[in-house]
Amino acid sequence: PEDIPITTIDPSFDWLDWRQLDRWNISEASVPAGVTLRFREPGLFEQYRGYILSTLALVLLQTLLIAGLLIQRRNKRRAERSLRESEERFRVMADTAPVMVWRSGPDQRCDFFNKPWLEFRGRRLQDEMGEGWTEGVHPDDLHRCLATYTAAWPGRESFRMEYRLQRADGEYRWVLDTGVPRLASDGALLGYIGSCIDMTERRQAEEAVRANAGALRQSHAAIEDLAGRLITAQEAE
C-alpha cells in the first residue's frame, strides 16, 4: 500500500457512485454539497411509499372511527344513566305525592301510575298500563272520559274531567282528573301527565246543597201558596 502514489482528486467532480459509498461505509453526510449520488438504491419507504401511506391513512381512519364510536358509546351511556336517574327521581316524587298520578306516552297509552293510584285501584302496574286503567272507569262515564282525553291531543291542550273510578273495595268514587301535555326541548309532544283526586265527598256535599236548595224553594213556594190562601180567606170573610 505504501507504494501506491497519492492522487489528488479533481475537485470539479459533480457526482459519486452511491454503491461505492455503501461498499466502503462512507456516510452521505461527508459528501460535499452539490455532488449528486447516482445508482442509489431506494429504501423500503421509497419502494412502498404508496402502500405505506395508504395503510397509515387506513389505520388513522379506523382509529378515528373507533374513537368516535367509543365517544358515542360513552355519551349514550351517560344519557341512559341520566335518563334512569331522572326516571327514578320522577318515580320517587310521584309515589310520595298525595294525589294519584298517571303518565302516557306519544302513543296515548299510559306507561306509569304512581303508588297512590295502584293502592286506590288495588291492582298491579302492569294491569293498569296501556288501556288497562279504563277497566276501572264506570261504563256510563267511559265514552265521555276517553273523548275528552283524545280531543286534547291535536291541540296539545290541558284538560279537566270528572268521572267515576272503581276503588279496590268495588265502590265507584268520583275523581277529578287534570292532564297537561309533556313537551320535549324541541317542542315534540312526549305525551301527557295527569293527577286525580277523590272528590266524592265534595260532590256529595254539592248534591246535598242542591237538594236542600230545592227543598227550600219548594218550602218557600208552599209557604207563599199558604199565605196567599190565608189572605184570600181573610178577604172573603
pLDDT reported for residue 30: 81
pLDDT reported for residue 40: 74
pTM, rounded to two decimals: 0.58
Whole-angstrom Cα distance, residue 120 to residue 171?
11
Task: Write the pLDDT tens digit of every residue in 30-88.
Answer: 877 777 878 777 777 777 788 888 889 999 999 999 999 989 888 888 878 877 777 88
Q: Which of 24, 26, 23, 20 is nearest to 38 (CA)?
A: 20
Task: Write the pLDDT tens digit of every residue in 190-230.
Answer: 999 999 999 998 888 877 777 767 666 776 666 676 666 66
The set of cell numbers assigned to 135 is 277497566
Please say whether the dihedral angle defined by the alpha carbons of residues 106, 110, 112 and 113, taken in this order, is positive or negative. Answer: positive
Q: Which is more confidently placed, 4 or 57?
A: 57
Region 168-186 average pLDDT: 94
Q: Which is more confidently placed, 197 or 91?
A: 197
Whole-angstrom Cα distance, residue 193 to residue 216?
43
pLDDT reported for residue 173: 96
- Residue 7 above 90 pLDDT? no
Q: What is the DSSP letter of 171?
A: -
Counting Cβ atoms within 10 Å, is residue 164 exposed (0-12), middle (13-18) or buried (19+)? Answer: buried
pLDDT, mean over the chain: 85
